[in-house]
Structures are given as structure tokens and as C-alpha cells.
């Protein structure tokens, strides 16, 4: 794992945006895997700024999002489809038809999972996957205990994840109990991975990731088995980890 140490959230966002922008410029038909949550918001802002100033084009880029809440429609402000439109897609020249976020409000969720997995395969796989990390080590919404062999599937969100995401909903009771998420095997098939880690609440997770054992009890540890992972981590998350 290539670890890039930065000072703070602002610098992490800037470096991450440069990393993504350079990849998009090198490969204009890149398949990007995207994340939601608080961590990548600054990076998306920087990408929009770059698009406006330097005209980096996303016209031929295809995107696949990691996850979506079950039961929320795309018009719900807390859905990840809404988040992506609002924080990125509506502000760049990407073709909406090339943006893929799992649908969390369809009747046949099993079919949605296998369709999403096939869609990624049909497009030749993800070239660069952006990840955040949960304080319990989840990537995507693959909570502790999820099989390293998992493909896109439905997951029960843990108490701590619903608690952490309550800040977007007002209270924990409103956070959906389930989500659809790319599996760990799906994520590991990405050709390259960029993981962003910021803030003191991620310090324990960063420590585990670097020093803990590789175990399904700490899903992100699987990344140590991937040959092309870049981590951008700020001082607050690093603490005293060497
Ligand atoms: C989001 C996702 C999650 C988040 C993680 C960290 O699409 O898949 O794994 O990256 O929950 O969330 P934040 O960035 O809000 O701390």
C-alpha cells in the first residue's frame, strides 16, 4: 500500500482530486468507482472546480457507486443517487446514462444485486475505485464479518454505522436498516484503489488497517492483499502511527 501523508482534510481532498483528475485525463473512457459519505465531499468540490477552470472532461467516463440505502428513492435527499447528483454529476459534463448507482427501491433486490455486478463486468471492470472507511473497518457497506468472496449483496447495517450516519438523517431511527453494496470481491477486482482517511474518529481504523491482522472481522484489511492501493491520510487520522 502506498501511503501519502497529508496535513489535513483540505490537503487530502486536493491531492485526491489531482489523483482522480490525472487518471481521467490519461484514460478518458475510465470506469470510476465512487463513494459517498462525508470523506469525499471535498474531493468532489475540487473536481468540480477543476472541471470549471481547466475543462477536464467526463463525457466518456462511466461511474459505479459502491452502495445505496434500501428503501430510498433517487429523489430522497438522503439517497446516494441524490448525493452523487448533488455533489458531482450535476456540475460536470458526465452523461447521466453513464452513471450507475445501485437502485435501493426496486421490488427484486436480489436481481438488482446480480444486475449491478454484471454491469460492472460488462464494462470491463472498475479502473479506479475511490473508498472511504468506516470506523469499524467497513468498506462500501461491507460490515465486519462479510466474506472476502462477497459480490454485490444486501447487508444489514450495524448499530455503529447507523449511528455514524444519523448526522445526515436527523436521528438513527430514520437511517435505513439495510443497504445494497458492492461486495469485497467486487471491490478487490478494481485495477486500482484510492482510499481516503481523515479525522480522529478514523485513527483506530487506520491503525488496524496498517498493523492489524488481515481478517473478515476488519473488512478494510483485505486491501493489504491488493497490488495497487493508494491511501491518502491526514494527520488527525494518522496520530502516531509510523
Ligand atoms: C460510502 C461508503 C462508506 C463510507 C464510510 C465512511 O459510499 O461506502 O464505506 O465511505 O462509511 O463514511 P464517512 O466518509 O462519512 O466517514
136 is catalytic: yes
- Look at the domain 2-237 and name its fold: Rossmann fold (3.40.50)
Q: For 111, left (φ over 0), alpha (ψ -120 to 50), or beta?
A: alpha
151-175 burial code (b ≥16 CB/10 A, e <16) = bbbbbebbeebbebbeeeeeeeeeb
38 Cβ inside 6 Å of ligand 1:
yes
117 is catalytic: no
Q: Which of 31, 67, 100, 103 is catalytic?
A: 67
3-class DSSP state for residue 42? helix
138 Cβ inside 6 Å of ligand 1:
yes
pLDDT in tens, 150-203: 999 999 999 999 999 999 998 888 999 999 999 999 999 999 999 999 999 999
- pLDDT bucket at 83, cuts 50 / 70 / 90: very high
- Ligand 1 center from residue 155 Cα (angstroms): 14
67 is catalytic: yes
- pLDDT score of 242 more than 60: no
Kindly give the pairing relationship between strand 99-100 and strand 2-6: unpaired
- pLDDT bucket at 241, cuts 50 / 70 / 90: low
99 Cβ inside 6 Å of ligand 1:
no
pTM over 0.90: yes
Dist. CA 79–CA 125, nearest whole Å: 24
102 Cβ inside 6 Å of ligand 1:
no
Contacts of 215 (CB under 8 A, 6+ apart): 221
Q: Judge whether 163 and 172 are in contact, CB under 8 Å.
A: yes
Nearest CA to ligand 1 atom 2: 140
Amino acid at each position: 500500500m502506498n501511503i501519502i501523508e497529508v496535513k489535513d482534510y483540505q490537503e487530502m481532498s486536493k491531492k485526491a482530486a489531482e489523483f482522480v483528475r490525472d487518471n481521467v485525463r490519461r484514460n478518458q473512457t475510465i470506469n470510476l468507482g465512487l463513494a459517498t459519505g462525508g470523506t469525499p465531499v471535498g474531493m468532489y468540490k475540487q473536481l468540480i472546480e477543476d472541471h470549471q477552470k481547466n475543462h477536464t472532461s467526463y463525457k466518456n467516463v462511466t461511474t459505479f457507486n459502491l452502495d445505496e440505502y434500501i428503501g430510498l428513492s433517487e429523489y430522497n435527499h438522503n439517497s446516494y443517487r441524490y448525493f452523487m447528483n448533488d455533489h458531482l454529476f450535476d456540475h460536470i459534463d458526465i452523461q447521466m446514462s453513464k452513471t450507475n448507482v445501485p437502485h435501493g427501491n426496486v421490488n427484486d433486490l436480489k436481481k438488482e444485486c446480480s444486475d449491478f455486478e454484471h454491469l460492472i463486468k460488462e464494462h470491463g471492470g472498475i479502473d479506479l475505485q475511490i473508498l472511504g472507511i468506516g470506523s469499524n473497518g467497513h468498506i462500501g457497506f461491507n460490515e465486519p464479518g462479510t466474506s472476502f468472496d462477497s459480490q454485490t449483496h444486501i447487508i444489514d447495517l450495524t448499530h455503529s454505522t447507523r449511528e455514524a450516519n444519523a448526522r445526515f438523517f436527523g436521528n438513527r431511527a430514520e437511517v435505513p436498516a439495510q443497504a445494497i453494496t458492492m461486495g469485497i470481491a467486487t471491490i478487490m477486482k478494481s485495477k486500482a484503489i484510492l482510499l481516503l482517511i481523515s479525522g480522529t474518529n478514523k485513527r483506530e481504523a487506520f491503525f488496524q488497517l496498517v498493523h492489524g491482522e488481515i481478517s473478515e472481522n476488519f473488512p478494510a484489511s483485505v486491501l493489504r492483499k491488493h497490488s495497487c492501493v493508494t491511501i491518502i491520510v491526514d494527520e488527525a487520522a494518522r496520530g502516531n502511527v509510523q
